[in-house]
A and B are shown apart, each in its own frame.
Chain A
Amino acid sequence: MPAPCPSPTRGALVMSYLLTCPNCGVREVTDFGYGGEIAARPKERPSFRELNTYNYFRRNVAGVQREWWFHRSGCRAWFVAERDTRTNEVHWTALPDQAPAAEEPSAQVPAGSAGGEATLA
């Protein structure tokens, strides 16, 4: 089951916070490595532009997102967290196969950006 994370400062922006490792329990965020937002790896052969978007672009959500975390100074397990990037409030953490089902996020080129072309060889 997804584990809740303690959030003593409810809603306020915090820089230093806690994460619940699904194996080890509640730990300081500095125990963990950040694996970035979860981006779906293309299932079919992508166009070169789509590939570069997947490799080099992030949605960089201001809000709630799903992301990878690694318990580097602990059990060295990868897990999934749902975090509000505006406040660092972590809603839950879970091992990948126990995370609540979610719509697969898709890598998208930001509107109005031609940046995807820049990485073409």
Chain B
Amino acid sequence: MSRLPEQPGERISRSKTISFRFDGKTVQAYEGDTIGSALYAAGRRTFSRSFKYHRRRGLMCCAGQCPNCLVAVDGAPGVRACTEPVRDGIDVRHMNARPGLDFDVMRATDLAPSALTPPGFYYKTFIRPRRLWPVYEKVLRHAAGLGVLPKKQAEREWRTEYRRRHADVLVIGAGAAGLRAATAAAELGADVVLCDEGPEPGGRLLAEGHHERARALADEARSAGVEILVNAPALGYFDGLVPVWQGATLHQVRAKQVVFATGTIEQPLVFAGNDLPGVMLSDGARRLAALYAVRPGARAVVATTSDRGLEAAVALRDAGVEIAAVADLRPDAAAGGALGDRLAAGGTEVLAGHTILEARGRTTVTGAVLGRADGSGGEREVDCDLVIISGGAAPATSLVAQAGARTTYDAARGVFRTGELPDAVHAAGDLTGAVGGEAVRLSGSLAGTEAAHALGLGDGASRARVQEAHRRLADLNTQAVAVAVPPAVAGGERGKCFACFCEDVTAKDIKASIAEGYDSIELSKRYTTVTMGPCQGRMCQLTSVRVMGQETGQTLEQVGLTTARPPWSSVPMGALAGRPIEPAKRSSIHGRHRELGAKILWAGDWRRAYDYGDPQGEAVAVQRAAGLIDVSTLGKMLVRGPEAGAFLDRLYPNRFSNLKPGRIRYGVISSDAGRIVDDGTICRLDDETFYVTTTSSGAGAMEEWFGWWLADWRMDVHMTDVTQAIAAVNLAGPRARDIMATVCDLDVSNEAFAYMDGKRGLVAGVPCLILRIGFVGEVGYEIHYPAAHGEHLWDALIAAGAEHGLRPFGLEPQRLLRLQKMHILVGQDTDSESTPFAAAMPWIVKLDKADDFIGKWALEHYADVEPETALVGFTMADGHVPTEGAVVVQGTTPAGQVTSSRYSPQLGRVIGLAWVASSLARDDARITISDAGSTYEATVQNKPFYDPEGEVLRS
């Protein structure tokens, strides 16, 4: 274990030990550790194998910014070990190495001469001979990519939720600038959300040991009412919508003003072996030491371009790391100032004008070669097990660029920072090139205050503060910055110098791409895939721009940055997909169907009982005794008001205003194009109230349709959708009346309760609306009642029907029974071209209605035109049941199709409905059905197959 003594502000709790597994071996950790810090403390240096060359890679940034520590956690690949908190018992595995992390056969790709693996090598190499591509592809697919998704995943227990958050101001980044911005805006009365990818607010203050200052700033923000989201990276900027991913929640933040305070990303240096485990960014090493009390190494060499590396050297020396040498690229030995003096006083040699030329070692760093960047003078090798690099601080401009901000090149520091900003977008802190801590904080307050002003908040005092802050900031930002701009590559490329760690792109590869003509940064990006890996350019964008500038002779301003695209941070697909749910509707009687062993299938959004194991027996029971079916899925609406009848007259092609209370009428909804849209029955309850049912699948659409016309016509009508509130069952069959007589308080004789009567009464003590209709062709009572009594009434009917041979029946027998009656199913037997005339329902259209109704003009037209096709019934000559959708042919020409077909045990024949040429729409016409390569003969029949005159229904 390489744990340090307790560090001030450390994040681990030493009293709480937990353990997890890495590649099958148990690893001890403290609560508060990340997977990365625990593994590092346990001595692990190799965390992953690289994408192409399978080189060893170790912790580098310790801030979730580089790709070096990607592991799989409990089967989920692509997790960054350096930021993922350890949880007790998790199973962590390495990625992209076979058979193991410490011996990986694919390493051969690294040892092969690099001429064999130039950029785009597989595009060039595996194209000939063409016929071998399928073989190549298999091999390449296997070799490409990083993690492996488990083929089968356990049922997901975690859920992701969307949260929509409308705020006045969103501040991205909770470093010093972001915290100040959030506080300033909130203090002026704005509703502020602040998000940060780290586990606590503070940003770089935390890595630098200023945890107390960080906490004070965070407390100020909280007191001002800022909502702070931690462990919550902003993923991108989409038209003002910023998705912020926080574990199981995807916050969709829409703010009127957005402040970007995304800070800087410490850049690596480019030299041979710059990817060896043990080469670490200065912030990374400091995070390990300060936050997790892990000693990053025993003896370190530091290579830096600014004070940042010197500060790290001092901090690490204080934490017990021997600093063997410091190479400070700045030519002036005095550049380091007091820091340099402190290091020198402690016996550390500071080499001005020097940088690192090569890191040496096989599995980890064992030495560093230092020398002058221009190659003059000698070189010397220093033994070490840690190389600390600090190649400058690149403002993280990607997110703000997505919001439309421009970037400008800051030649003094060799980085790009924000330039012109669009409306409602603000930038603060390091992003703007603020010089020094005071300027960073001040620019934060300024951005927050200006965001509040843009919202109309603030007062004279706050405006005065803005004036003053602008002046002070201008002064501060004109201070000289003591930063050296590193060369694109140092050390003359004496080995692989990685520009891009994610995709294993070396500086040489970028040069090769330029030589091949890909001489703009956007082209080179696509060809070499630099900046396109998991780090999204954090580690490689600036480097690749520098190489491009050096090779093409352009200024970096001319080269420019590649377009940054979302997502800026890695995010699981599941978080974007939202909750893994398949919404299902179940009727209030659903539990009974399950108990009865029903075959439950989808019917639109509904889970419905298709049958109870014996569809044909169930159908026969309905015709010989009685059956009970749950029809709660029907759409149900109450339409009320003085103009309710007139409203329905305008919506339906037939009349409802003359329907007597207590009576029922069937209706078909037609579009203005005269096409059938839906159907159902309407019962008039009283003068001003109609109870409208629609098809199950059309319930939602019909509610919208009714509401739409009502909104347009503005009639004195009120409609209420009661689909979910009302359960419904249909009791049908020759014994249905006997059963009703035992449970219903009404006189159910045919004289008192006739076909197409609708009455209110009690059934098993439950107040019901009972509709005497006959979808299945038998005497039937469709009983509508409060869903809360769903199972009670069902049970009562089942019990009362036991002695009469009552059986529950499902959707499948219902479909057979209605087919015998030639009752159409809208959407099954009709399509978007079907008119009521063609669908054999001319009687439903009342063109003599004086007033306008939806579809009137079209229907008037179609009434005069012989339809080309017509919906007819048919019986098969043999026992073949044609597929629904099978083609009706005339000769070899398609001339219609089968829409429904079933074997009817009652009739002993195969029956169906089909669209045929109008010339064939007469009884006894012969039609030919082509189905699965064979043709079958059938005979047309226009009258229902069962009870053609409806005597049974009315009896």
Contact = CB atoms under 8 A, between A and B. Distances in A.
A78 B239 contact: no
Given A10-B423, A51-B858, A55-B672, A16 B708 contact: no
A121 B861 contact: yes
Interface in A46-74: 46, 48, 51, 54-56, 68, 70, 72
B518 interface: no
Given A33-B704, A35-B708, A76-B707, A9 B424 contact: yes
B707 A121 contact: no
Contact of A70 (B255, B673, B708, B858): B708
Contacts of A48: 861
Contact of A96 (B164, B256, B714, B861): B714
A46 B703 contact: no
A44 to B, nearest CB: 10
A109 interface: no
Interface in A1-26: 6, 8-10, 12, 14-18, 26
B590 interface: no
Given A14-B239, A55-B672, A8 B256 contact: yes
B424 A45 contact: no
B714 A15 contact: no
A78 B240 contact: no
B122 interface: no
Contacts of B256: 6, 8
A15 B858 CA distance: 37
A9 B257 CA distance: 10
Interface string B216-258: 0000000000000000000000111100000000001011110
B254 A8 contact: yes
A72 B708 CA distance: 12
A9 B239 contact: yes
Nearest to A80: B711
A41 interface: yes
Contact of A16 (B239, B255, B710, B861): B239
A28 interface: yes
Interface string B711-726: 1101000000100000
A46 B857 CA distance: 7
A77 B672 contact: no
Given A68-B708, A70-B708, A76-B703, A41 B239 contact: no
A115 interface: no
Contacts of A95: 711
A121 B857 contact: no
Contacts of A54: 672
B865 A121 contact: yes
Contacts of A104: none
A41 B672 contact: yes
Contacts of B862: 121
B166 interface: yes
Given A55-B672, A96-B714, A78 B423 contact: no
Nearest to B867: A121
Contacts of A70: 704, 707-708
B857 to A, nearest CB: 5
A17 B254 CA distance: 10
Interface in B673-728: 673, 703-704, 707-708, 710-712, 714, 721
Contacts of B404: 12
Nearest to B423: A10
A16 B241 CA distance: 8
Nearest to A35: B708
Contact of A78 (B252, B673, B711, B865): B711
Contacts of A56: 673
A103 interface: no
Nearest to A96: B711
Contacts of B672: 41, 51, 54-55
A33 B707 CA distance: 13
A42 interface: yes
Contacts of A121: 861-862, 865
A101 B424 CA distance: 33
A68 B404 CA distance: 32
A48 B254 CA distance: 48
Nearest to A79: B711
Contact of A9 (B166, B240, B671, B714): B240
A56 B710 CA distance: 22
Nearest to A56: B673
A20 B552 CA distance: 52
Nearest to A11: B423
Contact of B714 (A55, A79, A97): A97
B788 to A, nearest CB: 23
Residue with the highest number of chain B CB atoms closer than 10 Å, among A10, A15, A41, A68: A41
B401 to A, nearest CB: 15
A56 B257 CA distance: 42
B821 to A, nearest CB: 30
Interface string B250-280: 0010111100000000000000000000000
Q: B252, B256, B673 — which one has the most chain A CB atoms within 10 A of its CB? A: B673
Nearest to A120: B861
A92 B772 CA distance: 48
Contacts of A14: 239-240
Contacts of A17: 239
A46 to B, nearest CB: 6
Contacts of A26: 166
Contacts of A41: 672, 712
Interface in B389-407: 404
A39 B893 CA distance: 40
Contact of B424 (A8, A18, A76): A8
Given A35-B708, A96-B714, A45 B239 contact: no
A8 B451 CA distance: 13
A42 B707 contact: no
B707 A15 contact: no
Contact of A77 (B257, B423, B707, B858): B707
A46 B858 CA distance: 10
B708 A78 contact: yes
A70 B858 CA distance: 26
Contacts of A42: 857
Interface in B838-888: 857-858, 861-862, 865
Contacts of B422: 12
Nearest to A78: B711
Contacts of A10: 423-424
A90 B461 CA distance: 35
B638 to A, nearest CB: 15
A68 B711 CA distance: 10
Nearest to A6: B256
Nearest to B240: A8
Contacts of A72: 704
B238 to A, nearest CB: 6
Contacts of B254: 8, 18, 28
Nearest to A50: B857
Most chain A C-beta atoms within 10 Å of own C-beta, residue among B423, B708, B711: B711
Given A16-B239, A121-B862, A28 B252 contact: yes
Nearest to A14: B239
Given A12-B404, A96-B712, 12 more contacts: A8-B257, A9-B424, A14-B240, A16-B238, A17-B239, A28-B252, A45-B857, A48-B861, A76-B704, A77-B707, A77-B711, A96-B714
Q: Nearest 3 A-B pairs (CB), nearest first?
A: A14-B239, A78-B711, A8-B240
Interface of A: 6, 8-10, 12, 14-18, 26, 28, 33, 35, 41-42, 45-46, 48, 51, 54-56, 68, 70, 72, 76-79, 95-97, 121
19 contacts: A6-B256, A8-B240, A8-B255, A9-B424, A10-B424, A12-B239, A12-B404, A14-B239, A14-B240, A26-B166, A41-B712, A48-B861, A51-B861, A55-B671, A55-B673, A76-B721, A78-B707, A78-B711, A95-B711
Interface of B: 164, 166, 238-241, 252, 254-257, 404, 422-424, 671-673, 703-704, 707-708, 710-712, 714, 721, 857-858, 861-862, 865
